[in-house]
Amino acid sequence: MRNLFFLAALLCAAVNIAAAQTVSHPNAQRDIDNFKAARTAWNSGDWAAYLTFFTADAMAYGVGPQDSMKVVDLVASQKASRDKYASVKVGNGAILPVNVAEGGLKGDWILEWNQHTAVRKDGGKESFRYHISCQMVDGKCRRITYYYNEAPVMRQQGWEFTPPKSN
């Protein structure tokens, strides 16, 4: 009986600690709607509409071979890469609004998990899963970070990887 009481008390303490660290995202629906509008604009190649999702000083991280770039440069790069493909699309993946209460990442965030699919002009298909995090300020994205495994994309483009020789 004492063990059951101890287990129940431990469970209550864990729930209380988790609840204390959780902060609701006060502008969640607005930020989700803005994110969805940006995703729709990206899919249709409406770059002017896509740019309205970002703050004037927005930065993008984790994009291809570059560590970071201004969002206007990101859009120019994405627009140019579309010329290589017959079609490019992202799906309607999961979106999660999050508010970080303290520390270096404090503030409102939108997180997305999705699938990117592109069909090359030669008919070849490239597809990969990705995750995006967007730091939101007044309904606009100030920082967007891309997370994905680039190796499968490179393999789909014809790259071959050779493991290093062991000693």
Is 17 inside any structural domain?
Answer: no
C-alpha span between 146 and 124 (Å, rounded): 24
pLDDT in tens, the chain (167 residues): 444 343 333 334 333 434 434 467 789 999 999 999 999 999 999 999 999 999 999 999 988 667 899 999 999 988 888 888 888 899 999 999 999 888 888 899 999 999 988 898 888 888 888 899 999 999 999 999 998 767 777 777 788 888 888 86
Is 167 inside any structural domain?
Answer: no
Is 101 inside any structural domain?
Answer: yes
**Length of the chain in residues, anyone?**
167
Is 105 inside any structural domain?
Answer: yes
Is 20 inside any structural domain?
Answer: no
CATH number of the domain to which 97 belongs? 3.10.450.50
pLDDT (0 to 100) of residue 2: 46
Output the pTM of the full model. Answer: 0.77
- Specify burial of residue 18 (Cβ count, 10 A radius: 0-12, 13-18, 19+): exposed
Number of domains in the chain: 1
Domain that holds residue 131: 25-156
C-alpha span between 163 and 122 (Å, rounded): 29
Is 135 inside any structural domain?
Answer: yes
Is 55 inside any structural domain?
Answer: yes
Is 49 inside any structural domain?
Answer: yes
CA distances from 2 to 15, 118, 156 (A): 20, 60, 59
